[in-house]
Structure 1
Amino acid sequence: MATDELMRKALDAIGEPDSPLVKEVFDRLLATEPPDGPMTVQQLAELLDVSPHTLRYYERIGLVEVDRDASGYRSYRPEAVRRIVFLTRMRLSGMPIRDLQHYVQLVDAGDDTVPERLDMLLEHRDTIRRQIRELTLSLAATEYKIATYGGSTAP
């Protein structure tokens, strides 16, 4: 199943956040496993539509550990890819770097930190939902003005 189709299914299921479909879709998105082994920084940057600089920055500030190949180049194992997929989604949703650093520290500390991680994610979800409502209102205002000027509001 293509990533676009997975994303469409996830977005369709957002109204039902406890839906097994949401979990399945994101499990599959996070299960990105390179077909030929580890990924290079360029391959991963292209996959996630981020810059190689961003990936190196995440490594430098301790958000992810990255192996090196025999030539000294970064080599992203599937575990690192999954973590970076999650990190990039959280950054896109506005989670601050300091919160991501704290979250990663909790993950690395083990299962005893699950309740605190859950609290962080619940709080962040509330923030995202508020942003979605605000953006929906902004979109409606923009559509109104477009229509006012005689433009088409159809996608």
Structure 2
Amino acid sequence: MFQAQDRSLVVISTDVANILVSYRQLSDSSQESAGVLIGERRGVHIVIKTLTEPSRWDIRSRFMVDRVSKHHQKAVDNAFKKSNGEWHYLGEWHTHPEDEPKPSMTDYSSWHKNLKSSDPLILIIAGRTGFWVGKKINEQIEVLQSI
């Protein structure tokens, strides 16, 4: 669980956390992985219920990933329908080949260019031993604290 300065919470389900951990780049040949986050908005709080995993069509290398597959959007659409409109796109995740990950300038640039929403979006980077979790509200990105 993570908390913002305004005391709002981001809850990551155990299943989601386990999937993120499974994509850690533990060896020198591990490729970056990425997907989207899906779940519920409960007032100011966000609950991440599921995510998309990389597809064979996504472009992946050691230090780069590009989600080009349409399966990510299809998963969001399906989750929305199956939940009667309760589950939504909540943000993005990807991996970094470092223990305690930090966003790169490329990450910040991509997020500011491509993520436009009036609702807060969650950003997760899974490292080898820890997670970096941020919340993007308009053009501001706040690093969330693990609690």
User: Normalising by the residue count of structure 1, what TM-score does the alignment of the two structures yield?
Assistant: 0.23
| Greater share of residues in helix | 1
User: Normalising by the residue count of structure 2, what TM-score does the alignment of the two structures yield?
Assistant: 0.24
Higher relative contact order structure (alpha carbons within 8 Å, sequence separation ≥ 6): 2
Rg (Cα) greater in structure: 1
